[in-house]
Structure 1
Amino acid sequence: MIRFLVILCMALSTGATAQTTDLRTLDTDYAAASWKAVGRLDFGRGAFCSGTLIAPDLVLTAAHCLYRAGSAEVWEAQDIRFSAGLRNGEAAAVRRASAAAAHVKFDPTGPLTDTNVAYDVALIRLAEPISTFEVPPFYVHNDRIAPGPVSIVSYGRGRANAQSRQKECQMLERYGDAMVFDCDVTYGSSGSPVFSHLNGRGRIIAVVSGMFDHKGQKRSIGMVLPDRVTELKSQLGMSIAPPTAKIRRITVGGGARSNIGAKFVRP
């Protein structure tokens, strides 16, 4: 824990954030055209997160979004709606969920330590697929991740009706399967995709899990994805049992839990 905090302080002091840009609303058709796969996930009435289409019928988001605030009670799948590219009341596509799965190792009532962050991932299966010609999905990054520039597209409190994009922010440090970013997030940004800047069209390297204050500076945190997504696809396949359409969660067993010494807030 001490070693991690020292490394993080060094990363902050060496100017790693110098090229971080401001968050900007995607307020024109042209600006928003490439990001239609990022949408708003609505839960019941009033609760929302961000999510990303990674296949015609699969949306990637944060696991804690699937639980009612402050509890282990899950939202019914039929109460979940995905609006791809939602902007000023119009969406490229709107779909209801047919099933959803939060990672079995995520503890919704436990502290949001770096260990819990590593499993704060969920997949939502849509009742009807979205045409890839209409909304091309993004792919999950499946290669080495190093500190450096990334970007983020999100919704959030005060900007719930249109996507915002931060063209460049920084991945500052990795601690196990948790990564710290200086990307600008707020409440409602949970599940937002963090993109790599490699090989043309961005690939998702993490989704936003939470935020915390480090020496007066707000930082966001996400997780390494490829293995978690593979596990979730298997879990989601087992969890589908129409017509109940509920989110299935298996109780997490005991084990050691690490902590990077920061207090996380789920946005």
Structure 2
Amino acid sequence: MRTLILFGLAVLWPLMSAAEEAPLRSLATADATRGWEAVGRIDVGNRGFCTGTLIAPDIVLTAAHCIFDQETRAQIPAEEFEFLAGWRNGRAAAYRGVRRAVAHPNYVFEGRDRIDRVPYDIAFLELDHPIRLPSIRPFETGPDTVTGDSVGIVSYALDRAEAPSIQDLCHVLGNEPGMTILSCDVDFGSSGAPVFEMIGGEPKIVSVVSAKAEMGGKKVALGSEMERPLEELRAAFQAGQSGFVKVSPGGGTKVFGSTAKSAAKFLKP
């Protein structure tokens, strides 16, 4: 999870009042976690953890920066990952190793935080064995959001690493090319967390958390959009890619415009 400060963007969205946002609620009991077991903690050796979600019996969706070593900039070997589905109070509903990790083909880990990497900050972890338990149902993904949409989030974080927490109601504050700005409450460890929207009576993943941010003195979260980036990631995964493709300078999606990009600053935790 990364922290950044964004300036000069308040004109893009109206500030929601705190009363409109639901507080985080711990899913610390079996009854509370029922239906959310496909969200789990991704342990990365002794390096830390991220959040991930099962979207197929053998595929976990998470943030791309979670699969890179911050010091060496190299992709972390797949065998160092473990997916703990529904991790709660020292036990998981299922434990799986990882066979392969694939980042979006346009994601480039450069050892420093970049706003223009957020739209590509998604990755797949291919599990060493599928999870086919009736109690763990993979989530479907949904369409991109629009400003004002009501969403929710399930995540782990450093101060709540032993059980997931749910925020039943937060909002889409704005959209930029490839990126969603959210009022959701996130912290270190929430990287890769699924953002859900109720569609047809079912929660569907409409964004993946990439970074936490401050905008106009308000805490926000940044996430990738789903439709096009996910389609591109699926193609890379099916093609058997296990690394990333470096984009040419100036290529790819431009986020916020040059003025905003130069004013944004990532802060190390």
RMSD of aligned Cα (Å):
2.2
Amino acid corresponding to residue 263 of structure 1 in structure 2: K
Match of 1:6 in 2: 11
Distance (Å, rounded) in 2 between the aligned partners of 1:221 and 1:239: 28
Distance (Å, rounded) in 1 between the aligned partners of 2:39 and 2:107: 23
Q: Aligned runs of 1:63-212 on 2, under 5 Å?
A: 63-109=64-110, 112-131=113-132, 133-142=134-143, 145-212=146-213
Deviation track 1:131-187 (CA, whole Å, cap 9, x = no partner) reads 052310001103654422110000001111110101111111001111111111010
Amino acid corresponding to residue 87 of structure 1 in structure 2: R
Match of 2:26 in 1: 25
3-state SS in 2 of match to 1:34: coil
Deviation of the 1:219 alpha carbon? 0.9
Match of 2:247 in 1: 252
Distance (Å, rounded) in 2 between the aligned partners of 1:27 and 1:164: 8
The number of equivalent residue pairs is 257
- Alpha-carbon spacing, 1:24–1:86, altered in 2? closer, same or farther (3 Å): same
Match of 1:34 in 2: 35
Q: Does the 8 Å CA contact 1:62/1:122 hold for their aligned counterparts?
A: yes
Distance (Å, rounded) in 2 between the aligned partners of 1:50 and 1:24: 16
Distance (Å, rounded) in 2 between the aligned partners of 1:146 and 1:30: 33
Amino acid corresponding to residue 250 of structure 1 in structure 2: V
Q: Does the 8 Å CA contact 1:190/1:266 hold for their aligned counterparts?
A: no
Deviation of the 1:110 alpha carbon? 6.5
Report the identity percentage.
Answer: 37
Distance (Å, rounded) in 2 between the aligned partners of 1:83 and 1:2: 37
Amino acid corresponding to residue 265 of structure 2 in structure 1: K
3-state SS in 2 of match to 1:64: helix
Amino acid corresponding to residue 149 of structure 2 in structure 1: G
Q: TM-score if structure 1 supplies the norm length?
A: 0.88
Q: Does the 8 Å CA contact 2:176/2:255 hold for their aligned counterparts?
A: no
- Alpha-carbon spacing, 1:236–1:56, altered in 2? closer, same or farther (3 Å): same
Q: TM-score if structure 2 supplies the norm length?
A: 0.88
Amino acid corresponding to residue 55 of structure 1 in structure 2: A
Deviation track 1:180-201 (CA, whole Å, cap 9, x = no partner) reads 1111101000000000033212
Stretches of structure 2 that go unaligned for 5 or more consecutive residues are 1-5
Amino acid corresponding to residue 249 of structure 2 in structure 1: G
Distance (Å, rounded) in 1 between the aligned partners of 2:7 and 2:43: 39
- Alpha-carbon spacing, 1:97–1:180, altered in 2? closer, same or farther (3 Å): same
Stretches of structure 1 that go unaligned for 5 or more consecutive residues are 241-246
Out of 251, 257, 265, the residue aligned to residue 263 of structure 1 is 265
Deviation of the 1:3 alpha carbon? 8.3
Amino acid corresponding to residue 255 of structure 1 in structure 2: G
Distance (Å, rounded) in 2 between the aligned partners of 1:95 and 1:225: 25
